[in-house]
Amino acid sequence: MSDQVQQPVPQVADDEIDLRELFSALWQGKWIIIVTTFLFSVASVFYALSLPDIYKSEVTLAPVSEDSGLKIPGQLGGLAALAGVNLGGMGGGDKTGLALEILKSRDFIGRFIEQNDLYLPIMAAEGWNRADNKLLWDRKVFDEQTQLWVRKVKSPFQPKPSTLETVEEFKKLFSVSQDKTSGMVKLSVEHFSPYLAKSWADSLVKAINEEMRTRELTEAERSIAYLNQQIAQTNLADVRTMLFSLIEEQTKTLMLANVRDEYVFKTVDPAVVAEKKVKPARAIIVFLISLMGVTLSSLVVLIRYFKRK
């Protein structure tokens, strides 16, 4: 009988995690989890309550359609193109798109901030007192007694915020979008004060309408001046007739711009003073921070358990 050499069978290490062992480890460290979660929950409540309420005011706008009621002959349109004259302004869609881009531009927002002196409510406010309808100022940024900016910043920034800084901060409070299906435009402003949010929303609509109206007036006046020069330089009857027709179109643009206040956007649903805050969502904040406490404490308990093992 031949000798059989028995090869040792390697033992496969059991690296699988037993769920019962995990639960057992968590149960052993239950007081660490409970206390840590309680501390996180209490801290989250205090943090959530320290956050000021923010209100949102929204206005719904409809683009104003362009319909002059006059058909432009092909040859007249070609002549206008050659002369660099804009017949009756841009199309409604193009004008709306341009107005939206201007509305979001740094130049327009910067001028809006300067004209309305919005540096303080944008850069120094940290809350709002409902009782007396007054903003609360951040003492690290602005000293109400001396009426001086006291924030500490590094060069090239100054204690008083620049227009560019204020524009970037304002963009966080302001939003505008257009529904591609209906064409309706939603403009909204968020702030600690619901009254300021409404006032700014109304002022922005008025400002963009005035901006576009002024641009159209300037362009039409320049076009008329140019066409009058061309009329004085030609004796051809047909050309003079076409030039007079072009002047008629520009005159219609002047008329519309002078008599229509809502030149680009017509208010469908005006902004109102909000009664309910839009944020912060304090319940969600407390839940998420408490959940983070449970997760971190559970990880600590498991790491300690397996290190000991």
* Mean pLDDT across 164-168: 94
pLDDT of amino acid 29: 83
Determine the Cα–Cα distance for residues 56 and 194; give it in Å rounded to an integer: 7
Determine the Cα–Cα distance for residues 12 and 203; give it in Å rounded to an integer: 75
SS3 121: helix
Give the architecture-level CATH label for domain 52-279.
2-Layer Sandwich (3.30)
Among candidate residues 193, 203, 200, the one with its CA nearest the CA of residue 55: 193
Give residue-wise pLDDT tens across range 121-140.
999 999 999 989 999 999 99
Higher-pLDDT residue of 82, 39: 39
Give residue-wise pLDDT tens across range 167-224.
999 999 999 999 888 889 999 999 999 999 999 999 999 999 999 888 888 888 888 8
Q: CB–CB of 1/278 below 8 Å?
A: no
pLDDT of amino acid 16: 55
pLDDT of amino acid 164: 94
Mean confidence (pLDDT) of the chain: 83
Look at residue 72 and tell me whether its pLDDT is greater than 70.
no
The conformation of residue 66, written as its DSSP 8-state character, comes to -
Angle at 16 between CA 11 and CA 18, to 5 degrees: 120
Determine the Cα–Cα distance for residues 174 and 257; give it in Å rounded to an integer: 27
pTM: 0.76
pLDDT of amino acid 90: 44
Give residue-wise pLDDT tens across range 224-260.
888 888 888 888 877 778 888 888 888 887 777 777 7
